[in-house]
């Protein structure tokens, strides 16, 4: 009988909190779509044949395809287990609160314990578990190889947890529902501080390109002229000596800016899965890549990204404050008189888990548009410098194209073969 009573009560909550049901259903559907797309990608990869414009040993190609196939299968299980783990965590929070209360621990301490627990979970499972980090709302592939337990990552997660939990605790205590204003203010400050620290640390490790011995005088002369015409200082372009693979990126915040190219992009990068191939670019191509990065800066892409991050996090915060402002005992799982902050914490966990895929989808859509815009800038300002060769060579390292649908759900950049094709056509029309 008691069991039936509980079922009855849960059903009443479903009726009373339709928005919560809707949120969970929305989250579940988006999760399922991502997994179906993962499976379709797996099928697509396994039957992909070598493109005609790529010269490569057939065996090497087959091994690469096989590796990519097993990677996409792994992604399917990884996505399932991490989302499942988050569901288990959300479901266990009310029981954890109950259990701690039974031990005579007051809600204030329970709050601190839960925050500490999220820090540890986030840190150790950070490759799977995007629970508290609004600044990194999706599992960014570039960071997947970094070790979890290291000072930079620990500070990042500590800041993520503290900058949410401390404002939420005090602003609710003093202003209740209106406390969201304080929390949103903290989100803005927190995001800005993170970007400033990031730019500062990049600037510290970058070697100014004029001082870098691996680039020719001719390249430096061209670059000086180009940067001057495009409102950049020489000190704002540098070379990064870290094992990040052949890469380049730009970061800026209201005039505080830096472009970096990795040393591997300049000196060459040996394909670890093909002994016959080394990515080696001409200086013209490196110049074109730098123009793409200048495009990001000129279009204020980083600032727009921060604004979007702030907007999304703030909307979620406002929703959490308003939708989880009812007495916690309304949710059956919590007893009467439970601190409201514990309910806020629970609500934030639910929102993060349910919205992780929709937010990822939108963020990546915007990201790909920015990349296309930066490519346009490259073409308009340095279009005849063989920028396409970068993509042609990258395709020798990764010759198997993604399924279009999968790429729309997961790609930070437009597909390399599409970018190469676009530049090829542009060159035919505009160069020589």
Residues making contact with Zn ion (CB under 5 A): 371, 374
35 or 413: whose CB is closer to Zn ion? 413
Kindly tell me which of 60 and 374 has the beta carbon lying closer to Zn ion.
374
Minimum distance, C-beta of residue 296 to Zn ion, in the bound complex (Å): 6
DSSP 330: G
Hey, CA dihedral for 109, 114, 118, 124, is it positive or negative?
positive
Residue 212 CB partners (closer than 8 Å, separation 6+): 238, 239, 266
CB of 280 to Zn ion, least distance (A): 21
Shortest Cβ 247–Zn ion spacing (Å): 10
Measured CA distances, 121 to 154, 155, 324 (Å):
11, 14, 23
Residue 251 or residue 317: which is nearer to Zn ion going by CB?
Answer: 251
Q: Which is nearer to Zn ion, 372 or 401 (CB)?
A: 372
Instruction: Kindly tell me the sign of the dihedral angle through the C-alpha atoms of 414, 364, 368, 397.
Output: negative
- The SS3 assignment for 152 reads helix
325 CB contacts (<8 Å, ≥6 apart)? 176, 177, 340
- Distance of closest approach, residue 292 Cβ to Zn ion, in angstroms: 6
Residue among 258, 158, 163 at smallest CA distance from 203: 258
* Integer CA distances (angstroms), 238 to 233, 241, 248, 288, 402, in order: 11, 10, 10, 15, 32
Cα gap 21→14, rounded to integer Å: 6
Q: At 257, is the secondary structure helix, strand, or coil?
A: strand
Cα distance between residue 423 and residue 325, in whole Å: 53
Q: How far is the CB of 361 from Zn ion (least distance, A)?
A: 19
Closest contact distance (angstroms) between CB of 177 and Zn ion is 41
In the complex with Zn ion, which residue's Cβ is closer, 38 or 236? 236
Shortest Cβ distance from residue 344 to Zn ion (Å)?
37
What is the nearest approach in angstroms of Zn ion to the Cβ of residue 374? 5
Strand partners, 262: 240
256-262 and 237-240 strand pairing: parallel
- The Cα–Cα gap between 326 and 36 comes to 37
Closer Cβ to Zn ion, 356 or 374, answer by number: 374
| Measured distance CA(402)–CA(44) in Å, rounded | 8
**171 vs 390 by CB, closer to Zn ion:** 390
Instruction: For Zn ion, give the closer residue by CB, 236 or 371.
Output: 371
């Amino acid at each position: 009988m008691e069991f039936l009573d509980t079922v009855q009560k849960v059903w009443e909550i479903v009726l009373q909190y339709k928005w919560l049901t809707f949120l969970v259903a929305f989250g579940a559907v988006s999760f399922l779509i991502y997994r179906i797309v993962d499976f379709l990608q797996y099928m697509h990869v396994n039957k992909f044949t070598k493109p005609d414009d790529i010269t490569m040993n057939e065996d090497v190609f087959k091994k690469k395809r096989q590796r990519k196939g097993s990677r996409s299968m792994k992604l399917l299980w990884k996505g399932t287990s991490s989302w499942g783990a988050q569901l288990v965590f959300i479901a266990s929070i009310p029981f954890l609160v109950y259990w701690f209360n039974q031990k005579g621990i007051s809600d204030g301490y329970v709050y601190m314990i839960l925050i500490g627990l999220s820090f540890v979970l986030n840190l150790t499972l950070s490759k799977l578990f995007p629970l508290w980090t609004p600044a990194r709302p999706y599992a960014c592939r570039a960071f997947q190889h970094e070790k979890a337990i290291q000072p930079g990552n620990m500070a990042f997660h500590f800041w993520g947890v503290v900058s949410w939990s401390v404002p939420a605790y005090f602003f609710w205590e003093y202003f209740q529902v209106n406390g969201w204003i304080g929390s949103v203010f903290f989100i803005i400050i927190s995001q800005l501080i993170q970007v400033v620290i990031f730019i500062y640390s990049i600037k510290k490790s970058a070697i100014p390109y004029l001082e870098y011995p691996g680039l020719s005088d001719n390249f430096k002369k061209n670059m000086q002229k180009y940067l001057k015409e495009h409102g950049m200082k020489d000190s704002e372009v540098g070379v990064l000596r870290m094992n990040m693979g052949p890469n380049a990126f730009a970061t800026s915040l209201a005039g505080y800016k830096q472009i970096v190219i990795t040393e591997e992009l300049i000196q060459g990068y040996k394909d670890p899965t093909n002994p016959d191939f080394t990515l080696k670019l001409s200086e013209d191509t490196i110049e074109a890549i730098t123009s793409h990065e200048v495009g990001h800066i000129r279009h204020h892409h980083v600032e727009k990204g921060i604004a979007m991050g702030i907007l999304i996090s703030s909307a979620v915060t406002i929703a959490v404050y308003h939708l989880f402002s009812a007495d916690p005992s309304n949710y059956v799982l919590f007893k009467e008189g439970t601190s409201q902050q514990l309910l806020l914490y629970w609500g934030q966990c639910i929102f993060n888990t349910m919205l992780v895929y929709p937010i990822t989808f939108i963020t990546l859509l915007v990201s790909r548009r920015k990349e296309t815009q930066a490519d346009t800038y490259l073409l308009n300002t340095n279009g005849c410098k063989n920028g396409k060769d970068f993509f042609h060579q990258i395709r020798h390292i990764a010759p198997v194209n993604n399924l279009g649908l999968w790429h729309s759900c997961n790609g930070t950049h437009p597909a390399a073969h599409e970018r190469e094709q676009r530049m090829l056509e542009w060159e035919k029309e505009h160069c020589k």
